[in-house]
Structure 1
Amino acid sequence: MPLQPLLHDLVPTLAAPTSALSGADGQIRASGVQGVFHADCRVLSLAVLRLDGREPEPIGHAAAGPGATRFVSLARWLGNPGPDPTVRIDRVRRVRAGAVDEEITIVSTADVPVTTTVTIDTASDLAPIEMVKSGNIGRGDDDFGRGPAFEQGVGDVGQRGDGVGGVEVRIEGDLDRRVTIPPRGRVTLRWALTVRDPAAVMLAGPRGDFARPAVRAADHRLTRLLDQSLDDLAALRLTTAIDDGDTFLGAGVPWYLTLFGRDSLWAARMMLPLGTDLALGTLRALARRQGTKLDPETGEAPGKIMHELRRDDVSVEGRLPAVYYGTIDATLLWISLLHDAWRWGHDPAEIAELLPALEAALGWLADHADPDGDGFLEYLDPTGRGLANQGWKDSHDAVRFHDGRIADAPIALAEVQGYAYRAAQDGAALLDAFGRPGGSLWRAYADALAARFRGAFWVDGGRYPALALDRDKQPVDALTSNIGHLLGTGILNADEEARVAAALGSAEMSGGYGLRTMSAGDGGFAPLSYHCGSIWAHDTAIVAAGLARAGFPAEAGRLIDGLLGAGEAFGFRLPELYGGDSRTEISRPMPYPASCHPQAWSAAAAVLVLQAWLGLDPDVPAGVVRVRPLPDAPTVTGLRIAGHPVDFANGTLTGLPPGFSIQEAVESDRQAGTLEDFADAEQDAGHEGDPVE
């Protein structure tokens, strides 16, 4: 059985929609998921550098700025004899949309001339991303293999086998050169790849779209994490030919470098402290593709926001439709992002232009989100060819009972009910503010949903809400991170938020480097399960922000400290997910071997952590900004509220437009202490592997 190729240890270089994935030595080998990808097509499957027919010995690599990576290696068989290497190779790879350039500098500190033949073997298979992900490439049952080689310094390739059609690839430069490096001198060689892909759906997004604040923090992990995250987020910007320059974030490298409803919405929502233009670009791009009809094959329904967008010129068995709507939460998240962009001060005229799409989205919530009429939102893939699970935990085995049994669909997820409550309230606020009818009806809907939720979801004697309701309306009683998404939605009262905070703050949930997706005391728990025990950066940040806003700084601080520790372990580029092992048993988080990086919502999690630390909650239409910082809050220059640059220092926000008032929350008894205290409290919490009493 073919296995999805591992990619946690590959080095990405990115300028969406183009990305290069190589080994840590800089070599791109004809195996796994290595290669240069452009718009869901692998346009280069081999790029191996040799000197005199031998591969140089790698010693390290480092980022060389946005869209660039430097790989350093040695040729110890050249130059002076002795223990110190005298011939070093610096290979700098730069990626632009539709192009890759490499500059190879051979530096000699030898006292004699060094002569060598430099070659770069290249090949292209034009494999669609779905085939690469399946693990079938190179197994003998496909027509890809190495693909055509490029020779004599210049090469072109068109369609090959079952590859993506219409793609033209050209490579030129120093692919075979004999050079002499003078004593203590250097020689620089260059080669470049360019791609022409007329059928590509994804195009490079325009520059801009969010600010880049300056941050000073006592914990330097935060500043380094933000720096790398903002570089990655800039590189993930995309648009399409029909989106008139509107920019959104591609979900992640390599599998998800396209428009995703849920992922792109969450990432844009996390980025609101840096400006609202990215949010509006994302909202408009998704509104242009909003559902208009019922289609079981694609999951489309009137008013529904799509799940993902792919190119339509690829035919791969088992592939989802090019425009796929199999998501239960993207429509709700779209409504709340529109509301939040308005609250952060986006131009009301541009918000008003999206009110018809808002009303259509609310129509989906009223008419199509609850097919069995039980008062809860649920999903079921009727075709058997779409996603079996359609919340953010969309793997087939993500919804499990405490004893490990997999729940049967239809599934009503806990967090989705919270999203629906929040979307109804947010939609009502927008309808009222812009003089549209229906606000009171949606507030009544939210109140009724909260009452139903209170009666159906709480388990374990009322200690925490269930993960979901299954086909038989039975609570799926595993303790999971899903319930953390309820914080801040309004569906919980203060007492219920306290119970959720206590459950999530337990060692079984918060004992790793962040928040586990499932409690270590549940039967389905495994530290390297995709959704049943691993840790996701965006999930942890969302819950930490909810805890901070609800007044639980210790629990929030513990999760933030875990994220910063993970960021440091992964070179300050938070991957899609990583292992949920205990911090008391292992000194650094273990990689999830098929984890994408960079990932939009993992990178944007750093911005949400910053917002949660500062406790910023603006309501620009009301002229109010609420501030509730956590201990040791950083100093930040260049945030954006209502389009104005604002600064935060010593608990004070400055730079707001005239007429705004600042409301500072009263510090609660729970808020004493520092981030280090929260981390120490975690160490004292005990061994989380013990069963939950």
Structure 2
Amino acid sequence: MRSGDDPGLPETPLEDGTEWTGPDGHRVRLEGRTHADVSLAPGESFTTTITVRATPPDVPGFRPAPPPGPAPWADAPLTVRSGDERLDRLVAQGVADLGALLLSYDGDVYCAAGSPWYLTLFGRDALWTARLALPLGYELAAGTLRALARHQGVRRDPVTEEAPGKIPHELRPGDATTWLPPIYYGSVDATPLFVVTLAEARRWGMPDDEVAALLPAVERALEWLGTFDGEFVSYVGSADRLSNQGWKDSADGVQHADGRLARPPVALSEVQAYSYQAAVLGADLLDAFGRPGADRWRRWAADLAERFRARFWVDDGAGGYPAIALDGDGRPVDGVASNLGHLLGTGLLTAAEEAKVAARLPELDSGWGLRTLTPDAAGFDPLSYHLGSVWPHDTVIAILGLVRAGHPAVAARLARGLIGAAAAFGHRLPELFGGQDSGTPPVPYPTACSPQAWAAAVSPALVTALLGLDVDVPSGRVALAPVPGFGELSAGNIRVGRAVLSARVDGDGRATVTGLPSGMTTWIREAGT
């Protein structure tokens, strides 16, 4: 082998060999005699030794480490006691799994995305997990936010897809990288989710000094959203990295009802909802801490909502629904899909529009949870990754949105499906499972992570939803509006700031809460009223 055989890579001659450097920072060094002129007589031999050393690039300072101690909630984990033992066991298993998935970065805890494939920090996954798990306390959200903020984008890099203000999609140690760079920013939704997660963590009691320390990152994240001024928040993707960059990130995950793949740039409906919510809640944070710019982001959000209303709605003669996305030609990507559920409760839709969405979600209900795509679509496959399978976190996001939007009956039906599905998996919900009808037991997806972080976080999220729990520490208020139909239900060790609350719903739907810190009040609506 001669060192000049690969002219495509930068080559560095060394005293004892040669080194090549790849475009992503990988280095390969050959040590020893790489070529020789040898004359051998019959029966003679020649031996040489070449040592190959591969040095992957690294993310400065990043290496997953065990958490510095037990989970913040370990001494008093969230518990549920109800008339349905399956729910009680689902919550216990999910809380335990979240503790088992904890890792740390410079002492800040976050949840690894899932075992066995994704035992590292994923922006979108970690943020959603922290949001769904807020009844366990604000500490997981705070640690996740700080860990991600350390690598918020500062420049433009076409290889890693970094951009100023952008939150990473995933980070890996250099020696664990495969086909993606060790730090990769190919996510269109992690950045708005970062802002929303901080705002919600503050409502659940994250101290103001910790919130204030992250406000510069919030301002940079909002500025990234602002690069889409007058446009929808979209992505182009990359054929050699991730072509789709929302949570449905498989190559065929975004397609028209006739099976055609959406041509980029793609503007996902749920990303517009996250971005609207980030702009509004980000503005509230700026106001709360006396920082400028709030009015700009409220105007930005209002403009986005108006344009969404004009462009995304599909008129199918049955009330209409928001498209999955707009494709690169500005055409709606049609077909009813679970993206709909992520719009609820974000503020992007009017109450009348939320009612239309709530009315369409049952079309996706397998009986075990929401299918990711309607069976009427050409690409539907119940055992696909994103085209008909059921993702528990996807369903619980819709459940939370339905409760916030005032549609508890639909939420209750979906919650019962998830509780029933969990029993088929030993009460541990996997990353995803088959979208077959409930006439058959849930079908495992062959390579699903289990445990998986946002699937485990379904457990505390169900507690939030079934209690209709709405916490707002800065306003001094805790509200409960229990979902009817679940009988007696008690939840203990709900962590709000430094306080530990208990809530109970009796057989008549009357709710009580105890353990409120001084200065906080409750607002309670009985189930069914």
Q: Shared fold by TM > 0.5?
A: yes
2-side partners of 1:476 and 1:313: how far apart?
39
Identity between Structure 1 and Structure 2 (%): 52
Instruction: Indicate whether 1:291 and 2:153 are aligned.
Output: yes
Shift of 1:512: 3.2
Aligned to 1:386: 241
Shift of 1:200: 8.3
Structure 1 residue identity aligned to 2:67:
G
Matches within 5 A, 1:478-557: 478-506=335-363, 509-557=364-412
Give ranges in structure 1 of 5+ residues lacking alignment: 1-159, 166-198, 673-693
Aligned to 1:301: 163
Aligned to 1:472: 329
The 3-state SS of whatever aligns with 1:521 is coil
2-side partners of 1:567 and 1:335: how far apart?
31
Instruction: Indicate whether 1:205 and 2:67 are aligned.
Output: yes
Aligned to 1:375: 231
Matched residue count: 463
Matches within 5 A, 1:335-414: 335-367=195-227, 370=228, 374-381=230-237, 383-414=238-269
1-side partners of 2:431 and 2:337: how far apart?
18
Matches within 5 A, 1:136-535: 201-206=63-68, 207-210=70-73, 211-240=76-105, 243=106, 245-313=107-175, 316=178, 319-367=179-227, 370=228, 374-381=230-237, 383-459=238-314, 460-461=316-317, 462-506=319-363, 509-535=364-390
Matches within 5 A, 1:614-693: 614-631=467-484, 632=487, 634-650=489-505, 651-665=511-525, 671=528
The 3-state SS of whatever aligns with 1:390 is coil
The 3-state SS of whatever aligns with 2:522 is strand
Aligned to 1:598: 451
1-side partners of 2:351 and 2:159: how far apart?
42
The 3-state SS of whatever aligns with 2:108 is coil
Structure 1 residue identity aligned to 2:175:
D
The 3-state SS of whatever aligns with 1:622 is coil
The 3-state SS of whatever aligns with 1:532 is coil
For residues 371-420 of structure 1, give each alpha carbon's deviation from its aligned partner in whole angstroms, at most 9, with x where no partner exists.
Answer: xx652000012x53220000000000011111222111110000000000
1-side partners of 2:247 and 2:345: how far apart?
18
Is the Cα contact below 8 Å between 2:399 and 2:465 reproduced in 1?
yes
Pair 665,421 (structure 1): closer, same or farther in 2 beyond 3 Å: farther
Structure 1 residue identity aligned to 2:231:
G
TM-score, normalisation: structure 2 = 0.85
Shift of 1:548: 1.6
For residues 86-136 of structure 1, give each alpha carbon's deviation from its aligned partner in whole angstroms, at most 9, with x where no partner exists.
Answer: xxxxxxxxxxxxxxxxxxxxxxxxxxxxxxxxxxxxxxxxxxxxxxxxxxx
Shift of 1:665: 3.5
1-side partners of 2:342 and 2:488: how far apart?
23
2-side partners of 1:511 and 1:392: how far apart?
20
Structure 2 residue identity aligned to 1:264:
A
Is the Cα contact below 8 Å between 1:516 and 1:534 reproduced in 2?
yes
Is the Cα contact below 8 Å between 1:213 and 1:274 reproduced in 2?
yes
2-side partners of 1:163 and 1:488: how far apart?
49
Shift of 1:666: 6.4
1-side partners of 2:218 and 2:301: how far apart?
16
For residues 510-530 of structure 1, give each alpha carbon's deviation from its aligned partner in whole angstroms, at most 9, with x where no partner exists.
Answer: 133101100112211110010
2-side partners of 1:163 and 1:217: how far apart?
56
1-side partners of 2:154 and 2:286: how far apart?
21
More helix by share: 2
Structure 2 residue identity aligned to 1:515:
L
Larger relative contact order (C-alpha < 8 A, sep ≥ 6)?
2
Aligned to 1:8: none
2-side partners of 1:658 and 1:287: how far apart?
33
2-side partners of 1:353 and 1:305: how far apart?
16
The 3-state SS of whatever aligns with 1:328 is coil
Structure 1 residue identity aligned to 2:475:
A
1-side partners of 2:168 and 2:272: how far apart?
19
Is the Cα contact below 8 Å between 2:269 and 2:323 reproduced in 1?
yes
Shift of 1:314: 5.2
2-side partners of 1:574 and 1:633: how far apart?
24
Structure 1 runs of 4+ aligned residues shifted over 4 Å read 160-165
The 3-state SS of whatever aligns with 1:637 is strand
Alignment root-mean-square deviation, CA:
1.8
1-side partners of 2:449 and 2:52: how far apart?
27
Aligned to 2:464: 611
Shift of 1:642: 2.4
Shift of 1:208: 2.4
Pair 640,572 (structure 1): closer, same or farther in 2 beyond 3 Å: same
Shift of 1:315: 6.5
Is the Cα contact below 8 Å between 1:270 and 1:604 reproduced in 2?
yes
For residues 32-52 of structure 1, give each alpha carbon's deviation from its aligned partner in whole angstroms, at most 9, with x where no partner exists.
Answer: xxxxxxxxxxxxxxxxxxxxx
Pair 463,633 (structure 1): closer, same or farther in 2 beyond 3 Å: farther
The 3-state SS of whatever aligns with 2:347 is coil
Is the Cα contact below 8 Å between 1:312 and 1:322 reproduced in 2?
yes
2-side partners of 1:443 and 1:653: how far apart?
34
Aligned to 1:130: none
TM-score, normalisation: structure 1 = 0.65
More strand by share: 1
Is the Cα contact below 8 Å between 1:646 and 1:654 reproduced in 2?
yes
Is the Cα contact below 8 Å between 1:346 and 1:643 reproduced in 2?
no
Shift of 1:432: 0.3
